[in-house]
Protein backbone atom coordinates (compact mmCIF):
# COMPACT_ATOMS: atom_id res chain seq x y z
CA UNK A 1 0.00 0.00 0.00
CA UNK A 2 2.73 2.45 0.99
CA UNK A 3 4.79 1.59 -2.07
CA UNK A 4 1.82 2.16 -4.38
CA UNK A 5 1.05 5.54 -2.79
CA UNK A 6 4.69 6.52 -3.05
CA UNK A 7 4.78 5.66 -6.73
CA UNK A 8 2.07 8.23 -7.42
CA UNK A 9 2.79 10.89 -4.80
CA UNK A 10 6.58 10.76 -4.29
CA UNK A 11 8.06 9.47 -7.54
CA UNK A 12 11.89 9.51 -7.44
CA UNK A 13 11.84 10.86 -3.87
CA UNK A 14 13.10 8.20 -1.47
CA UNK A 15 13.32 10.56 1.50
CA UNK A 16 9.60 11.42 1.28
CA UNK A 17 8.77 7.74 0.93
CA UNK A 18 10.69 6.88 4.12
CA UNK A 19 9.04 9.76 5.96
CA UNK A 20 5.61 8.48 4.87
CA UNK A 21 6.53 5.02 6.16
CA UNK A 22 7.57 6.40 9.53
CA UNK A 23 4.42 8.48 9.98
CA UNK A 24 2.00 6.06 8.34
CA UNK A 25 2.95 2.94 10.27
CA UNK A 26 2.77 4.87 13.55
CA UNK A 27 -0.64 6.36 12.77
CA UNK A 28 -2.13 2.99 11.81
CA UNK A 29 -1.35 1.54 15.24
CA UNK A 30 -1.95 4.73 17.24
CA UNK A 31 -5.38 5.49 15.76
CA UNK A 32 -6.46 1.86 15.89
CA UNK A 33 -5.53 1.70 19.57
CA UNK A 34 -8.52 3.86 20.53
CA UNK A 35 -10.94 1.41 18.94
CA UNK A 36 -9.54 -1.62 20.75
CA UNK A 37 -11.86 -3.10 23.36
CA UNK A 38 -10.58 -5.56 25.92
CA UNK A 39 -13.23 -8.07 26.94
CA UNK A 40 -12.86 -9.78 30.34
CA UNK A 41 -12.17 -13.50 29.90
CA UNK A 42 -15.08 -15.74 30.81
CA UNK A 43 -12.95 -18.85 31.06
CA UNK A 44 -9.42 -19.98 30.42
CA UNK A 45 -8.39 -21.67 27.21
CA UNK A 46 -6.03 -24.61 27.04
CA UNK A 47 -4.62 -25.96 23.79
CA UNK A 48 -5.39 -29.62 23.14
CA UNK A 49 -2.94 -31.94 21.41
CA UNK A 50 -4.14 -33.08 18.02
CA UNK A 51 -5.95 -36.39 17.95
CA UNK A 52 -6.15 -36.66 21.74
CA UNK A 53 -9.25 -36.47 23.87
CA UNK A 54 -9.56 -35.26 27.43
CA UNK A 55 -7.18 -36.81 29.97
CA UNK A 56 -8.27 -40.27 31.16
CA UNK A 57 -8.01 -39.05 34.75
CA UNK A 58 -8.29 -35.68 36.42
CA UNK A 59 -8.85 -34.49 39.94
CA UNK A 60 -12.59 -34.47 39.39
CA UNK A 61 -12.90 -38.02 38.07
CA UNK A 62 -9.81 -39.80 39.32
CA UNK A 63 -11.98 -42.78 40.32
CA UNK A 64 -12.39 -44.91 37.17
CA UNK A 65 -15.68 -46.31 38.55
CA UNK A 66 -17.25 -42.87 38.21
CA UNK A 67 -16.69 -42.77 34.46
CA UNK A 68 -19.47 -43.57 32.04
CA UNK A 69 -19.66 -47.30 31.38
CA UNK A 70 -19.75 -48.69 27.84
CA UNK A 71 -23.26 -49.02 26.50
CA UNK A 72 -24.62 -45.85 28.09
CA UNK A 73 -26.32 -43.53 25.68
CA UNK A 74 -24.97 -40.12 24.80
CA UNK A 75 -27.93 -38.54 26.60
CA UNK A 76 -27.31 -40.41 29.84
CA UNK A 77 -23.62 -39.59 29.63
CA UNK A 78 -24.41 -35.91 29.29
CA UNK A 79 -26.79 -36.08 32.27
CA UNK A 80 -24.14 -37.73 34.40
CA UNK A 81 -21.69 -34.94 33.51
CA UNK A 82 -24.21 -32.28 34.46
CA UNK A 83 -25.02 -34.10 37.69
CA UNK A 84 -21.36 -34.31 38.56
CA UNK A 85 -20.91 -30.63 37.85
CA UNK A 86 -23.92 -29.76 39.98
CA UNK A 87 -22.69 -31.91 42.85
CA UNK A 88 -19.46 -29.96 42.90
CA UNK A 89 -21.24 -26.63 42.97
CA UNK A 90 -20.56 -25.63 39.34
CA UNK A 91 -23.35 -23.78 37.60
CA UNK A 92 -21.55 -23.17 34.31
CA UNK A 93 -23.16 -24.68 31.24
CA UNK A 94 -21.19 -27.54 29.72
CA UNK A 95 -21.43 -27.50 25.96
CA UNK A 96 -19.37 -28.56 23.00
CA UNK A 97 -16.58 -26.20 24.08
CA UNK A 98 -15.96 -28.12 27.29
CA UNK A 99 -13.02 -30.02 25.83
CA UNK A 100 -11.22 -26.70 25.25
CA UNK A 101 -12.00 -25.17 28.61
CA UNK A 102 -10.40 -25.78 31.96
CA UNK A 103 -12.85 -26.09 34.77
CA UNK A 104 -11.96 -26.19 38.43
CA UNK A 105 -10.06 -29.39 39.05
CA UNK A 106 -9.57 -30.23 35.38
CA UNK A 107 -5.86 -29.59 35.52
CA UNK A 108 -3.98 -32.43 37.12
CA UNK A 109 -0.50 -31.44 38.17
CA UNK A 110 2.63 -33.08 36.86
CA UNK A 111 3.15 -35.29 39.90
CA UNK A 112 -0.32 -36.74 39.62
CA UNK A 113 0.21 -37.20 35.88
CA UNK A 114 3.40 -39.10 36.53
CA UNK A 115 1.63 -41.25 39.13
CA UNK A 116 -1.02 -42.41 36.69
CA UNK A 117 1.30 -42.30 33.67
CA UNK A 118 -1.32 -40.49 31.64
CA UNK A 119 -0.81 -38.03 28.84
CA UNK A 120 -2.52 -34.83 29.84
CA UNK A 121 -4.39 -32.99 27.16
CA UNK A 122 -3.31 -29.63 28.52
CA UNK A 123 -0.02 -28.25 27.25
CA UNK A 124 2.60 -27.13 29.72
CA UNK A 125 2.97 -23.36 29.71
CA UNK A 126 6.58 -22.35 29.00
CA UNK A 127 7.74 -18.76 28.68
CA UNK A 128 10.51 -16.35 29.59
CA UNK A 129 13.94 -17.72 30.47
CA UNK A 130 12.53 -21.25 30.54
CA UNK A 131 12.63 -21.15 26.73
CA UNK A 132 16.42 -21.07 26.58
CA UNK A 133 17.14 -24.68 27.65
CA UNK A 134 14.15 -25.95 25.64
CA UNK A 135 15.15 -27.92 22.51
CA UNK A 136 11.83 -27.24 20.78
CA UNK A 137 12.37 -23.49 21.10
CA UNK A 138 15.73 -23.69 19.34
CA UNK A 139 14.30 -25.98 16.68
CA UNK A 140 11.58 -23.45 15.83
CA UNK A 141 13.98 -20.53 16.26
CA UNK A 142 16.55 -21.87 13.78
CA UNK A 143 13.95 -22.92 11.21
CA UNK A 144 12.38 -19.45 11.32
CA UNK A 145 15.81 -17.89 11.05
CA UNK A 146 16.69 -19.89 7.93
CA UNK A 147 13.43 -19.40 6.06
CA UNK A 148 12.86 -15.79 7.05
CA UNK A 149 16.44 -14.86 6.16
CA UNK A 150 16.00 -16.43 2.72
CA UNK A 151 12.79 -14.48 2.16
CA UNK A 152 14.20 -11.19 3.40
CA UNK A 153 17.13 -11.32 1.00
CA UNK A 154 14.81 -11.24 -2.00
CA UNK A 155 12.31 -8.88 -0.36
CA UNK A 156 15.04 -6.33 0.29
CA UNK A 157 16.75 -6.78 -3.08
CA UNK A 158 14.01 -7.52 -5.60
CA UNK A 159 14.56 -3.98 -6.90
CA UNK A 160 18.24 -4.74 -7.51
CA UNK A 161 17.26 -7.94 -9.34
CA UNK A 162 14.91 -6.01 -11.61
CA UNK A 163 17.50 -3.30 -12.22
CA UNK A 164 20.24 -5.79 -13.11
CA UNK A 165 18.01 -7.75 -15.49
CA UNK A 166 16.66 -4.66 -17.26
CA UNK A 167 20.12 -3.11 -17.74
CA UNK A 168 21.29 -6.35 -19.33
CA UNK A 169 18.12 -6.93 -21.37
CA UNK A 170 17.53 -3.37 -22.58
CA UNK A 171 20.27 -0.81 -22.01
CA UNK A 172 17.98 1.93 -23.33
CA UNK A 173 15.47 1.53 -20.48
CA UNK A 174 15.11 4.80 -18.59
CA UNK A 175 15.61 5.03 -14.81
CA UNK A 176 11.96 6.06 -14.45
CA UNK A 177 10.80 2.96 -16.35
CA UNK A 178 12.99 0.67 -14.24
CA UNK A 179 11.75 2.28 -11.03
CA UNK A 180 8.16 1.59 -12.04
CA UNK A 181 9.03 -2.06 -12.63
CA UNK A 182 10.74 -2.21 -9.22
CA UNK A 183 7.67 -0.82 -7.45
CA UNK A 184 5.47 -3.25 -9.33
CA UNK A 185 7.49 -6.21 -8.06
CA UNK A 186 7.36 -4.91 -4.50
CA UNK A 187 3.59 -4.56 -4.67
CA UNK A 188 3.16 -8.00 -6.23
CA UNK A 189 5.39 -9.54 -3.57
CA UNK A 190 3.31 -7.90 -0.83
CA UNK A 191 0.06 -9.13 -2.35
CA UNK A 192 1.35 -12.71 -2.63
CA UNK A 193 2.52 -12.51 0.98
CA UNK A 194 -1.05 -11.68 1.98
CA UNK A 195 -2.31 -14.66 -0.04
CA UNK A 196 0.26 -16.91 1.62
CA UNK A 197 -0.70 -15.81 5.12
CA UNK A 198 -4.37 -16.36 4.44
CA UNK A 199 -3.87 -19.76 2.81
CA UNK A 200 -1.42 -20.94 5.48
CA UNK A 201 -3.61 -19.96 8.42
CA UNK A 202 -6.76 -21.53 7.04
CA UNK A 203 -4.91 -24.48 5.52
CA UNK A 204 -3.12 -25.43 8.72
CA UNK A 205 -6.42 -25.43 10.63
CA UNK A 206 -8.00 -27.66 8.00
CA UNK A 207 -5.06 -30.06 8.12
CA UNK A 208 -5.31 -30.28 11.91
CA UNK A 209 -9.09 -30.47 12.31
CA UNK A 210 -10.21 -32.28 9.17
CA UNK A 211 -7.23 -34.47 8.30
CA UNK A 212 -5.87 -34.83 11.86
CA UNK A 213 -2.44 -34.07 10.50
CA UNK A 214 0.45 -31.92 11.64
CA UNK A 215 0.51 -28.15 11.45
CA UNK A 216 4.12 -28.51 10.32
CA UNK A 217 2.83 -29.41 6.83
CA UNK A 218 2.22 -25.69 6.24
CA UNK A 219 5.86 -25.12 7.12
CA UNK A 220 6.87 -27.84 4.66
CA UNK A 221 4.87 -26.04 1.97
CA UNK A 222 6.56 -22.74 2.82
CA UNK A 223 10.05 -24.27 2.62
CA UNK A 224 9.19 -25.97 -0.68
CA UNK A 225 7.95 -22.69 -2.15
CA UNK A 226 11.18 -21.00 -1.07
CA UNK A 227 13.17 -23.71 -2.84
CA UNK A 228 11.18 -23.04 -6.02
CA UNK A 229 11.75 -19.29 -5.63
CA UNK A 230 15.53 -19.72 -5.39
CA UNK A 231 15.54 -21.97 -8.47
CA UNK A 232 13.48 -19.39 -10.34
CA UNK A 233 15.98 -16.66 -9.42
CA UNK A 234 18.79 -18.80 -10.82
CA UNK A 235 17.09 -19.56 -14.14
CA UNK A 236 15.17 -16.35 -14.95
CA UNK A 237 17.07 -14.26 -17.47
CA UNK A 238 14.31 -12.02 -18.84
CA UNK A 239 13.04 -9.21 -16.58
CA UNK A 240 9.48 -9.94 -17.68
CA UNK A 241 9.74 -13.33 -15.96
CA UNK A 242 10.99 -11.92 -12.65
CA UNK A 243 7.43 -12.08 -11.33
CA UNK A 244 8.03 -15.78 -10.66
CA UNK A 245 10.73 -14.82 -8.16
CA UNK A 246 8.81 -12.04 -6.42
CA UNK A 247 5.53 -13.99 -6.44
CA UNK A 248 6.95 -17.24 -5.05
CA UNK A 249 9.01 -15.37 -2.45
CA UNK A 250 5.97 -13.46 -1.22
CA UNK A 251 3.85 -16.61 -1.14
CA UNK A 252 6.45 -18.57 0.84
CA UNK A 253 7.09 -15.69 3.24
CA UNK A 254 3.39 -15.25 3.90
CA UNK A 255 2.87 -18.98 4.41
CA UNK A 256 5.74 -18.96 6.90
CA UNK A 257 4.28 -16.24 9.11
CA UNK A 258 0.71 -17.41 8.66
CA UNK A 259 1.36 -20.62 10.59
CA UNK A 260 4.32 -19.87 12.87
CA UNK A 261 2.43 -18.16 15.73
CA UNK A 262 0.18 -21.22 15.93
CA UNK A 263 3.22 -23.51 16.07
CA UNK A 264 4.62 -21.43 18.93
CA UNK A 265 1.28 -21.60 20.78
CA UNK A 266 1.07 -25.36 20.27
CA UNK A 267 4.59 -25.84 21.60
CA UNK A 268 4.63 -23.48 24.60
CA UNK A 269 1.00 -22.66 25.40
CA UNK A 270 -1.10 -19.57 24.83
CA UNK A 271 -0.67 -17.66 28.09
CA UNK A 272 2.83 -16.44 27.25
CA UNK A 273 2.34 -16.27 23.49
CA UNK A 274 3.09 -12.55 23.15
CA UNK A 275 6.45 -12.89 24.89
CA UNK A 276 7.28 -16.20 23.21
CA UNK A 277 6.44 -14.89 19.75
CA UNK A 278 8.44 -11.74 20.43
CA UNK A 279 11.45 -13.87 21.31
CA UNK A 280 10.91 -16.01 18.23
CA UNK A 281 10.86 -13.00 15.89
CA UNK A 282 14.42 -12.19 16.94
CA UNK A 283 15.47 -15.14 14.76
CA UNK A 284 15.64 -13.23 11.43
CA UNK A 285 17.93 -10.55 12.88
CA UNK A 286 21.08 -12.63 12.38
CA UNK A 287 20.20 -14.61 9.26
CA UNK A 288 18.56 -11.66 7.52
CA UNK A 289 21.73 -9.61 7.86
CA UNK A 290 23.99 -12.49 6.80
CA UNK A 291 22.08 -13.22 3.59
CA UNK A 292 21.67 -9.53 2.75
CA UNK A 293 25.37 -8.82 3.29
CA UNK A 294 26.24 -11.78 1.09
CA UNK A 295 23.94 -10.48 -1.65
CA UNK A 296 25.40 -6.96 -1.40
CA UNK A 297 28.98 -8.19 -1.51
CA UNK A 298 28.31 -10.40 -4.55
CA UNK A 299 26.45 -7.59 -6.34
CA UNK A 300 29.28 -5.15 -5.65
CA UNK A 301 31.82 -7.60 -7.09
CA UNK A 302 29.98 -7.51 -10.43
CA UNK A 303 29.21 -3.77 -10.39
CA UNK A 304 31.04 -0.75 -11.68
CA UNK A 305 30.77 2.83 -10.50
CA UNK A 306 29.06 4.93 -13.14
CA UNK A 307 29.47 8.60 -13.99
CA UNK A 308 26.71 9.49 -11.58
CA UNK A 309 28.66 7.88 -8.73
CA UNK A 310 26.27 4.94 -8.35
CA UNK A 311 27.18 1.30 -8.77
CA UNK A 312 25.60 -0.47 -11.70
CA UNK A 313 25.75 -4.07 -12.90
CA UNK A 314 24.84 -5.04 -16.45
CA UNK A 315 25.59 -8.76 -16.24
CA UNK A 316 21.99 -9.82 -15.75
CA UNK A 317 21.38 -12.68 -13.37
CA UNK A 318 25.15 -13.19 -12.96
CA UNK A 319 25.07 -10.03 -10.86
CA UNK A 320 23.44 -11.91 -7.97
CA UNK A 321 23.23 -15.62 -8.87
CA UNK A 322 25.94 -16.68 -6.40
CA UNK A 323 23.83 -15.32 -3.53
CA UNK A 324 20.91 -17.50 -4.57
CA UNK A 325 23.05 -20.61 -4.46
CA UNK A 326 23.56 -19.85 -0.78
CA UNK A 327 19.85 -19.32 -0.12
CA UNK A 328 18.97 -22.41 -2.17
CA UNK A 329 21.15 -24.50 0.15
CA UNK A 330 19.53 -22.88 3.20
CA UNK A 331 16.04 -23.53 1.80
CA UNK A 332 16.87 -27.16 1.09
CA UNK A 333 18.14 -27.65 4.64
CA UNK A 334 14.95 -26.06 6.00
CA UNK A 335 12.79 -28.28 3.77
CA UNK A 336 14.46 -31.45 5.02
CA UNK A 337 14.20 -30.20 8.60
CA UNK A 338 10.48 -29.42 8.33
CA UNK A 339 9.74 -32.86 6.85
CA UNK A 340 11.68 -34.40 9.73
CA UNK A 341 9.61 -32.30 12.16
CA UNK A 342 6.39 -33.77 10.75
CA UNK A 343 7.79 -37.27 11.18
CA UNK A 344 9.10 -36.53 14.66
CA UNK A 345 5.76 -35.13 15.83
CA UNK A 346 3.97 -38.22 14.50
CA UNK A 347 6.37 -40.56 16.32
CA UNK A 348 6.05 -38.64 19.60
CA UNK A 349 2.26 -38.70 19.49
CA UNK A 350 2.21 -42.39 18.68
CA UNK A 351 4.55 -43.17 21.57
CA UNK A 352 2.52 -41.08 24.01
CA UNK A 353 -0.70 -42.75 22.88
CA UNK A 354 0.77 -46.19 23.42
CA UNK A 355 2.03 -45.26 26.88
CA UNK A 356 -1.38 -43.90 27.84
CA UNK A 357 -3.20 -46.97 26.56
CA UNK A 358 -0.79 -49.33 28.30
CA UNK A 359 -1.11 -47.52 31.61
CA UNK A 360 -4.89 -47.37 31.62
CA UNK A 361 -5.66 -50.71 30.01
pLDDT tens digits for range 37-88 = 887 776 555 555 554 444 444 444 444 444 444 444 444 444 444 444 444 4
Three-state SS annotation for 286-303: HHHHHHHHHHHHHHHHCC
List of domains in the chain: 131-359 (1.20.1250.20)
- Round the CA-based radius of gyration of the chain to a whole number and report it: 26
Q: Who has greater pLDDT, 103 or 153?
A: 153
Distance CA 211, CA 206 (A): 7
pTM, full prediction: 0.69
The pairing of beta strand 311-312 with beta strand 304-305: antiparallel
Question: Poorest-confidence range of 5-14, 72-81, 193-202?
Answer: 72-81
Q: How many helices (H) and strands (E) does the chain have?
A: 11, 2
For residues 202 and 122, the answer to whether their CB atoms sit within 8 Å is no
CA atoms within 13 A on the CB side of 303: 20
The mean per-residue pLDDT over the stretch 229-237 comes to 94
Residue 304, beta-bridge partner list: 312
Distance CA 100, CA 81 (A): 16
Would the pLDDT of 94 be above 70? Answer: no
Amino acid sequence: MFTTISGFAFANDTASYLLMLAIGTFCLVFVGMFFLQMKPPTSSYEALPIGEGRPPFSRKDSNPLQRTKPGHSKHSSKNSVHSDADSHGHSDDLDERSSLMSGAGDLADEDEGSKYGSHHAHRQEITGMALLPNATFWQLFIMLSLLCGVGLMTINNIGNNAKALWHHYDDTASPYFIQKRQLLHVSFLSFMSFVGRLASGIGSDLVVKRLHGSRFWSLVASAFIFVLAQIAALVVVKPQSLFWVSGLTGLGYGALFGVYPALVADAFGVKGLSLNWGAMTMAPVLSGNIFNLAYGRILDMHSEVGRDGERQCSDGRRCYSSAYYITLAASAVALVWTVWSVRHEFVVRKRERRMSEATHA
